[in-house]
Structure 1
Amino acid sequence: PAATASGSFSMLAGGDWGSLIPSAMAGLIVNLSQEYLEQFVRMKFFTEFSAALLGGLFALLSVTIFPQLHLSIIIIGAMLPLFPGIAITNSLRDLMAGDLVAGVSRGVEAMLTAVSVAVATAIILSFTR
């Protein structure tokens, strides 16, 4: 499912059929590495950062081998499943329901997840300069 979602997200982001396969493979790498790392490391921030970094490295490798591919499209497709959309929604729902402790804690967790993915992506993009 992760590979299918990542490939589909790359197509929705304006990618062509050539970016579908590398984006799907990068998404699969992200998902498998996240599942593997969660067995050993209990820090969600670190596992998502490492998974995003590995997926970004695969995207960078794909663009290095096939220069006609678009790095930004592949990275969008690979990283989008990591972003915590449901966690942000649940946080806002908890806050509106008056459960301030749960809402704030879920919101902070979602923001840390988003920041970890963004930092990993920024590190990968810094290699292209």
Structure 2
Amino acid sequence: MNNNLFGVVLLFLAMAVVSRLMALPQIHRLNKQLVKIRKSGPVSSVGLARHWKGNRAYVLVTDEEGNIICGYKTSGNFVFSGFREDHELRERNYREIIEDLGKKKKLSQLEKAKCMAAEYLEDGFKKQKQADAA
């Protein structure tokens, strides 16, 4: 009985290690994509939404006034996930995202990440205005 239990525990530990090792190339690839996306415009922000089903991320790239140049969302799961341009993005300014999603009662994980990215932009622009005023 003890040998069987030891074998099962050892198997689960080996699976955890292999899973972590397989995630390293994915993390490296996503970081390279994120750096490239962030360089595509003067201002960018990343929002994350975590869930037991999987994490979602949204990247907003704007100009200095907060007008959206483009948005990127994560697509896919596990090792095959990556950032894809959001062609369904209707909003022209980050404030529109906050207003539109603030009205909804229940947000999807992607909408939560999108709203978080817009709120980070809002905080950054407020801090920039305070620094310019000082």
Q: Same fold (TM over 0.5)?
A: no
RCO higher in 1 or 2 (8 Å CA, sep ≥ 6)?
1
Q: Which has the higher helix share?
A: 1
Tell me the TM-score normalized by structure 1: 0.30
